Structure 1
Amino acid sequence: MEPTQPGARRPEHHRLDVRPLDPVHSLKVKLGLLVVASVAVGVLITWIGLRNELGPSRTFPLAILVSLLLTWLLARGMTSPLREMTAAAQAMADGDYSIRVRSTSQDEVGQLAEAFNTMSRDLEASDRIRRELVANVSHELRTPVAALQAQLENMVDGVTEPTPAALEVSLEQTERLSRLVTYLLDLSRVEAGASALTLTQFSVGDFLEECAEAVSMVDAAKGLTYVVDVTPEDLVLEADVERLRQVVTNLLQNAIRHSPHGGTVRLDAYPVDDDVVVEIGDEGPGIAPEDRDRVFERFARGSTSGRALAGSGGTGIGLAIVRWAVDLHGGHVEVADTESGATMRVTLPASARPAAGVTTESAR
């Protein structure tokens, strides 16, 4: 019997679910054994009855009754997973995805039961992710919307003057909303399987300088310093510029969110064999070692000293999009080991080697 997943429920089993034929790997062989067993039992009872001079009028009905009972017991055990799947499907229709089917047989019915359990787990995971998405996005939308509404109401009521500082606060909340919408649109592209890359060769140093300048204009309130260090200075990379800009921007915004006021955010790039490594580091509280393997999972959240590891203010979408975009290029992303802060390391092939199934075209 397969192990029960935590939180998963098994349907109640009837005591008469006898399964002596479970080790048999073919349903056809099972049916043949069922026929042979019922006939053999009927013949045996008939022979015993005739030897004891019970007569055909009593021996034949008894043989038929026992054969039918044996057939019913064995057939019930063979078809039990099908009944369990029917009950589980009805429960799924009511929104309960926790039921698992007992799959001990080795034949086609057992394989169907295992496939059904896999489908149940996938549906349960998808439903959990959907609920988390609704809850997280609702929370993230409510905060900036409430702040923006309060700020505008104060201006309309004359409580607050529409000074540049007050308007800047409103602009920050609007930009936060815009970033969240952008993440959700990117997530929809991931779900749709969008995997086309427009490849071009570009200077890594110039590219990182542009990304740092763009985010520094938006998040100037913290007074962060951006240090770009590319070795060698003429390092080039062949990739989809817009996808890579999406990667670097998401990682920069994550670093900015967790950096202390007046801190430093580093953007380093250097070659390793046939690859180009881009690292983005901050001076924040860092990422716990136990969280480093899962922070790029969709909606995953970990914490070290209160740090939320999410790519859009807590939704856990941004870092998942980073991994998706890097995977498209045939690269990988990880959390590097550092003594302080957090450093995200992106490794990409210097000459484009997109993942299997990804279509490419050259930039005009």
Structure 2
Amino acid sequence: MTRDDAAAWGPLSRRLLAAFVLVALSSVAVLTGAALWGTGQGLESAQAEARRQAAERVAAAVATAYGAAGGWDSVDLATATDLATGAGARLVVRTADGANVTGHGRGMPMNAMPGTGRVEVPVVVGGAVVGSVQLAFGSPATPVARNITWGWIGLAAGIALAVAGVTTWFVGRRIVVPLGRLTRAARRISAGDRTARAGVRAPGELGELAAAFDHMAAEVARAERARRDLTGDVAHELRTPLATLQAGLEELRDGMAQPDAERLTSLHDQAQRLGRIVQDLSELSAAEAAALSLRLRDVDLAEVAATAVEAHIAHLRAASLEVRTELATGVVVRADPDRLHQALGNLLANCARYARPGDVVTVRVHRSADTAFVDVHDTGPGIPAAELGHVFERRWRGRAGRAVAGTGIGLAVVRELVTAHGGTVTATSDGGGTLLTVSLPL
């Protein structure tokens, strides 16, 4: 037996089976009571009608015999007695004044006749009542109809129990088994296995619950992965400047170096580098959590791009770069303008860091179908094709970036911010510059 089969007959399934059996047997009991009562009433009504008709036939035979004999003195009751016997009754014939008739074939006195039912019918001859006929019926045997009813009731009870068992198995497979998988996946996640998933495909609310659980598990795994990455980022980026600061301060403390302006400037540069690293890591952490803190509203992408260019124009000109803009108005997106400003600012700072003096940086806003685009293009040295797939990774800087100050986190921040808006960011290079494109849904 598989684990799912075992779960299908677990404690919950057994409780469901007990509930289904109770409902089934209760239904059978109610239907049995109703059937027996209805059958009894029908049988009693039919029996009473049959007895009345038998008594009327016997009374007609007695009236015929009375007419043939001209009175009660020599009446022949043989035919009437045979009819009464055929109906399962004993016959008593009385005159109009209540005396028992003693003719041939008469019955015993009524008070001496056994039976559970008596029927009395007047004997009418020539429009006048000359006497009465009384039939006493004995206790009937168990009717065949009632036996048949009990047989069908037993069959119905058996079918109800079988249906309860099948229903329990079906419900167990459709509800209990998925719940068991969810429980096992939750236990594995709580035990530290972040790859555990329920993998349940079920209709309705149960399927939605399983999908939500798997999505939650994926988000937990992503958050833990981000935490590990951030820890690694911090350890990696802080190790070198901290070691340099520590060595320099130890030299000053031990008198191995003089605290001159050059030495202090070097230590100050390392402290500033530490500050930049902490700031970049803070921005990356905020970018990864941006989806939880976005303040979305309708914004014109051209206005956001113009503001970002204006904020970085001094930095770009200080790097001897020419800045051009082609900003199409009316390109409205649902976004957080501050986060978009931060992303575009990082792209422009990246141009200022890697482009050569005299290069041109072009910022362009345009749209196509249901997508808005922001292009940041520079005519710098470009990015080798083998390195294009890594530019948005943490701490990756490429061969050209090793000679430039930085942490390799800026473009990773851009990717996190754009992804939080439901968009994408790509990098292309044809050897004559680099094109960074942000795509956002309109």
Using the size of structure 2 for normalisation, the TM-score is: 0.48
- Partner of 1:25 in structure 2? none
Flag structure 2 segments of 5+ consecutive residues without an equivalent. 10-15, 29-150, 330-336, 368-372
Are residues 1:339 and 2:438 paired?
no
How far is the alpha carbon of 1:161 from its aligned partner?
2.7
- Partner of 1:319 in structure 2? 411
Larger Rg: 2
Higher-helix-fraction structure: 2
Aligned-residue identity in percent: 26
Partners of 1:72 and 1:35 lie apart in 2 by 7
- Partner of 1:283 in structure 2? 381
One of 259, 267, 272 as aligned partner of 1:175: 272
Are residues 1:210 and 2:314 paired?
yes
Question: Do the aligned residues in 1 keep the contact of 2:185 with 2:197 (CA within 8 Å)?
Answer: yes
Residues 149 and 194 of structure 1: CA distance in aligned 2, closer, same or farther (over 3 Å): farther
How far is the alpha carbon of 1:103 from its aligned partner?
1.5
- Partner of 1:76 in structure 2? 172
Q: Given residue 253 of structure 2, which amino acid in structure 1 is its aligned partner?
A: V
SS at match of 1:109: helix
Question: Do the aligned residues in 1 keep the contact of 2:362 with 2:376 (CA within 8 Å)?
Answer: yes
How far is the alpha carbon of 1:307 from its aligned partner?
6.7
- Partner of 2:103 in structure 1? none
Are residues 1:14 and 2:25 paired?
no
Residues 302 and 202 of structure 1: CA distance in aligned 2, closer, same or farther (over 3 Å): closer
Are residues 1:193 and 2:293 paired?
yes
Flag structure 1 segments of 5+ consecutive residues without an equivalent. 1-11, 20-30, 44-54, 215-225, 349-353, 357-364
Partners of 2:217 and 2:271 lie apart in 1 by 40
Aligned 1:151-166 pairs, distance under 5 A: 151-166=248-263
Question: Do the aligned residues in 2 keep the contact of 1:17 with 1:76 (CA within 8 Å)?
Answer: yes
Question: Do the aligned residues in 2 keep the contact of 1:230 with 1:269 (CA within 8 Å)?
Answer: yes
Residues 162 and 14 of structure 1: CA distance in aligned 2, closer, same or farther (over 3 Å): same
Question: Do the aligned residues in 2 keep the contact of 1:268 with 1:280 (CA within 8 Å)?
Answer: yes
Q: Given residue 210 of structure 1, which amino acid in structure 2 is its aligned partner?
A: A
Partners of 1:345 and 1:244 lie apart in 2 by 15
Residues 313 and 255 of structure 1: CA distance in aligned 2, closer, same or farther (over 3 Å): farther
SS at match of 1:150: helix
Are residues 1:266 and 2:365 paired?
no
Partners of 2:161 and 2:304 lie apart in 1 by 80
Partners of 1:338 and 1:253 lie apart in 2 by 18
- Partner of 1:219 in structure 2? none
Question: Do the aligned residues in 2 keep the contact of 1:269 with 1:276 (CA within 8 Å)?
Answer: no
Partners of 1:269 and 1:206 lie apart in 2 by 13
- May I ask how many residue pairs the two structures share in their alignment? 285
How far is the alpha carbon of 1:111 from its aligned partner?
2.7
Aligned 1:111-150 pairs, distance under 5 A: 111-150=208-247
The alignment's C-alpha RMSD in Å is 5.3
Q: Given residue 200 of structure 2, which amino acid in structure 1 is its aligned partner?
A: S
Using the size of structure 1 for normalisation, the TM-score is: 0.56
Partners of 1:108 and 1:328 lie apart in 2 by 28
**Which structure carries more relative contact order (alpha carbon 8 Å, separation 6+)?**
1
